Amino acid sequence: MCGRFVSASPPDEIAKYFSAEPPAESLAEGVEPNYNVAPTTDVFVVLADGSARRVAAHHWGLVPFWAKDVKVGNRMINARAETLATSGAFKHAFKHRRCIVPADGFYEWRKIPGQKAKQPFFIHRPDDESFAFAGLWEEWKGGGEGERLRSTTIVTTTPNEAMARIHDRMPVILPATAWDAWLDPENDDIETLGKLLVPAPSSLTVMHPVGTEVNNVRNGGPHLMDEAVDAAVAGGTLFAADGP
């Protein structure tokens, strides 16, 4: 799964990177640079309205249009690529409401051999550019009169070779060549879209262990991405059992 990530780039930079229109200032209010993004937080997404891309702020945790309570979204922060087309929660969004969730990197935890604790890792691109996570979005109208909530979920798939050493899932990372097809609201070719939902090359996901401060969602700041200084962790003992 993907349960924590970094979204520190300002919306105007996100818009430039994805050739999109930035959000209205009023819509971007409250979405501050966040180095420890947790579920139920508002995050930036990139979506397409007709021929134009734009950046918007959505609630992380997809709330289907048929949901009776917004809390349903707490269980829908991720959507498995293998079941998008058949899931009652995601199949309508998969066909008509797709988006990109920009991320400067993400965190994942690996069990430490012989211990109950898990070691967090920070995963990012080798060039430190933004990841383009495949996402879905929905608009929920179940609140008060006139109240609407737009929410998103991150699509996950099986891990690439590098990620498999840490976890059995990873976000779908879309290459720039797939952005048009994925964002096009008129594209309902589920079979072709499904072929985009594959693990990114291992060369695109570099990682290092980080301190356990990231475990607490109340902690923030760019230092959370710094490599752990613990000699045992930094020395690679976590991967010793995997071989060279």
**pLDDT tens digit string along 112-136?**
888 888 999 999 999 999 999 999 9
Confidence check: pLDDT of 51 > 60: yes
For position 99, which CATH number holds? 3.90.1680.10
Looking only at the bridges linking them, the beta strands covering 131-140 and 149-157 are antiparallel
pTM for the whole structure: 0.92
Structural domain including 21 reads 5-242
How many domains are there within the chain? 1
Q: List, for residues 196-229, the tens digit of each pLDDT value.
A: 999 999 999 999 999 999 999 999 999 999 999 7
Q: Does the annotation mark 2 as catalytic?
A: yes
How large a percentage of the chain has pLDDT more than 70? Answer: 91
pLDDT in tens, 52-79: 999 999 999 999 988 988 899 999 999 9
30 band by pLDDT with thresholds 50, 70 and 90:
confident
Would residue 108 show up in a list of annotated catalytic residues for this protein? yes
β partners of residue 207:
123
* Pair 64, 101: CB distance under 8 Å: no
pLDDT for the residue 23: 83
Q: Which one is catalytic: 13, 108, 129, 213?
A: 108
pLDDT greater than 90 at residue 237: no
Point out the catalytic residue in the list 2, 13, 82, 129: 2
CA 140-145-146 angle, to 5 degrees, is 60
